[in-house]
Structure 1
Amino acid sequence: MDVLTLTTNADAPFMNEQMAALERRGVTFDTLSVAGEVGDGTGRTPIDYLRFFPDVLREAGDGNDYDLIHAHYGLVAPMALAQLRTPVVLSLWGSDIHGPVEPVSKACAPFCEEVVVMSEEMRRVLGQDCEVIPDGVDLEKFAPQDQRAAREAVGWDHDAHHVLFPYSPDRDVKNYPRAKRIVTVVDNLLERPVRLQTISGVDHETVADYMNAADSLLLTSHSEGSPNSVKEAMACNLPVVAVDVGDVRERLAGVDPSTVATSDEELVKGLIEVLQRGERSNGREAAREVSIEQTADEMLAVYERAVGGERSTSRTRTEPRTQTPSPSP
């Protein structure tokens, strides 16, 4: 199967790991990414997205015999649907359902052959029939290590509690101010120093070192789909203290020690408990449910349904997919 991938971020580790796993199953990929500079505090302009239309139409035609177009993120769905020949799978990442991109995602989703979301919550918000497939975690890359060795590798001292916030403080959706506030309170309540460690821009291969060096992962995001950091922490048996967003509660069911909180007080209490216990979690066993190999098999089944066995050479989309009412909360 030959697939054209459309994305806003060609460097997204979870997307590339998924593609690598699918390549091991015989799928081949070409990737187009929206041009333009993106960084903390900067983003692409509408002109960047408009310029992406002819790029997609040219690549989707031009004698290229793709079986499928996989649009990663709601903002590239209009470009995928602009061509009428090739089936489209749309993967929604979370912020394209919880935020200003939501209207674009909801408008385009009914016209795609298959839609993939990361959590049941996202399916409820989208309000249409779709497949729930969380991003998978590489259990070989993310595995338990000796904590002392990991701390030496990342340069952390051994005399403090280290709480990992694996994002840039500048990413508003991750809510760094709340994480800092929680850790400050906990630091004042415990005798041993508590340090909030932020990481961003590091090679994904080294993130496991930070997971194994930390005593807890702290997630305070305003919204999430299926946060990879939680699943990666689970795979390293790192306890997680998190707000109740996305599929966090589902993923952490039965994982101990870990806490899913709905208030600052619960976050403080949960973090104190984790740090005082000083134990690793049993998260790795639960993480097997979302291994990259498991989720790649599920995505391959989605691809096969979208293609439907036979390639259409003159496809038109005059009717949207059948929508089903969203279930009651």
Structure 2
Amino acid sequence: MRVLNLVPNAQSRFFKQQVDVLADRGVSETTLTVPGRREYDDGDTTARTPLDYARFVPSVLKHSFGDYDLVHANYGLTAPHAVVQPNLPVVLSLWGTDLMGEYGWVSKLCARFADAVVVMSPAMAAELDGDCRVIPHGVNLDRFRPEPQAAARAALDWDADARHVLFPYPRERTVKDYPRADQVVDRVRDRIDDVALHTPTGVPHEEMPTYMNAADALLVTSRREGSPNAVKEALACNLPVVSTDVGDVATRLDGVTHSRVCETDGELVDALATVLRAGERSNGREAAREVSVERTSQRLHDCYRDVLAGR
């Protein structure tokens, strides 16, 4: 099977992971990237202009006449390029901000013309009129796994006696709402001494398991998400999670100990304080097995096969 991938950022870690695992299943591919500068993994488009996307059209049209079985548009703003080419069946994957954000109307319109639509969560599926498959990005359980906390803290030179909260997003990302996370932790400090908030950015992904194992809790205050990988990676490391009710977080945390989905700032403060006082790990790894990269990639491969069988 040969796939033509369209993506805003070919260096996105979950896109690269998807390509690598599908390659092990015999799927070869060519990746076309939208021109222009990209910074973030989740398809944020602030560094791109309409002209950049217009410049992408000729390349997609040219490649659509090549020896491919289907075209896979990864992220909604690559969808118009996929559905206008006349030769290949289309699989469209929506990542979250492309459906729930400013340009969601583009994704919804193009989804009507795709042969299959993949979304990250049931909440995203509810935004679409037609049928779609819920297949979140998977987590590498070999990389993200429980390790001794003391050793992880020593590796990061973190205070062994403090309580450590992890916010693994750039502070400037408005949708992640760092100011809210900072305020929540500040209010928790009124109840608990020595609480540190860590916002590692620019850290190689292979080093993130150390942060997950060193921390006492993952804090997510996002305004919207699809299926946040940080939550799934935390689960794989048995790191407790306190999060706003975004994307599929409620589904992922169902039955997970020392973790909670919250609506208000007060609930976030109460939940985080409770988790930090308990000082215990979660049972999240069992829940993470459902979204292992092997399982999610198998489901995506099945989607490819069904599209081709339907043609």
* 35-44 or 202-211: bigger deviation: 35-44
Provide the residue aligned with 2:93 in structure 1.
91
1:138-287 pair list within 5 angstroms: 138-191=140-193, 193-287=194-288
Partners of 2:269 and 2:161 in 1: CA distance: 21
In the TM superposition, residue 127 of structure 1 has moved relative to its aligned partner by 2.5
In the TM superposition, residue 167 of structure 1 has moved relative to its aligned partner by 0.4
Residue 56 (structure 2) pairs with residue 52 (structure 1): yes
In the TM superposition, residue 238 of structure 1 has moved relative to its aligned partner by 0.2
TM-score, structure 1 as length reference: 0.91
In the TM superposition, residue 155 of structure 1 has moved relative to its aligned partner by 2.6
In the TM superposition, residue 22 of structure 1 has moved relative to its aligned partner by 1.0
Provide the residue aligned with 2:301 in structure 1.
300
Partners of 1:39 and 1:113 in 2: CA distance: 30
Partners of 1:154 and 1:35 in 2: CA distance: 37
1:113-124 pair list within 5 angstroms: 113-124=115-126
Superimposed CA distance per residue, residues 67-121 of structure 1 (whole angstroms, 9 cap, x where no aligned partner): 0111001100011112111011000000011111101001100100000001000
Partners of 1:35 and 1:73 in 2: CA distance: 15
The secondary structure found in structure 2 opposite 1:188 is: coil
In the TM superposition, residue 270 of structure 1 has moved relative to its aligned partner by 0.5
Provide the residue aligned with 1:320 in structure 2.
none
Q: Is the 8 A contact 2:9 2:38 kept in 1?
A: no
Provide the residue aligned with 2:12 in structure 1.
12
Provide the residue aligned with 2:3 in structure 1.
3
TM-score, structure 2 as length reference: 0.96
**1:222 aligned partner, one-letter code:** R
**2:2 aligned partner, one-letter code:** D
Partners of 1:243 and 1:50 in 2: CA distance: 36
Q: Is the 8 A contact 2:8 2:38 kept in 1?
A: no
Provide the residue aligned with 2:26 in structure 1.
26
In the TM superposition, residue 25 of structure 1 has moved relative to its aligned partner by 0.8
The secondary structure found in structure 2 opposite 1:17 is: helix
Superimposed CA distance per residue, residues 16-75 of structure 1 (whole angstroms, 9 cap, x where no aligned partner): 1122111111101110111111348951111000000011111222xx210011100110
Provide the residue aligned with 1:289 in structure 2.
290
* Structure 1 residues without counterparts, runs of 5 or longer: 311-329
Equivalent of 1:72 in 66, 71, 74: 74
Partners of 2:80 and 2:165 in 1: CA distance: 40
Q: Is the 8 A contact 2:176 2:221 kept in 1?
A: yes
Partners of 2:267 and 2:129 in 1: CA distance: 31
**2:159 aligned partner, one-letter code:** D
The secondary structure found in structure 1 opposite 2:118 is: strand
The secondary structure found in structure 1 opposite 2:25 is: coil
The secondary structure found in structure 1 opposite 2:79 is: helix
Partners of 2:109 and 2:210 in 1: CA distance: 41
Partners of 1:296 and 1:37 in 2: CA distance: 28
* Structure 2 residues without counterparts, runs of 5 or longer: none
Provide the residue aligned with 1:322 in structure 2.
none
The secondary structure found in structure 2 opposite 1:305 is: helix
Partners of 1:273 and 1:121 in 2: CA distance: 28
* 34-43 or 3-12: bigger deviation: 34-43
In the TM superposition, residue 158 of structure 1 has moved relative to its aligned partner by 1.1
Aligned Cα root-mean-square deviation (Å)? 1.3
Identity fraction in percent: 54
Partners of 2:111 and 2:67 in 1: CA distance: 23
Partners of 1:3 and 1:224 in 2: CA distance: 27
Partners of 2:310 and 2:112 in 1: CA distance: 21
In the TM superposition, residue 309 of structure 1 has moved relative to its aligned partner by 6.7
Q: Which has the higher relative contact order, 1 or 2, with Cα contacts under 8 A spaced 6 or more apart?
A: 1
Superimposed CA distance per residue, residues 272-304 of structure 1 (whole angstroms, 9 cap, x where no aligned partner): 111001001000001001110111111011000
**2:207 aligned partner, one-letter code:** T
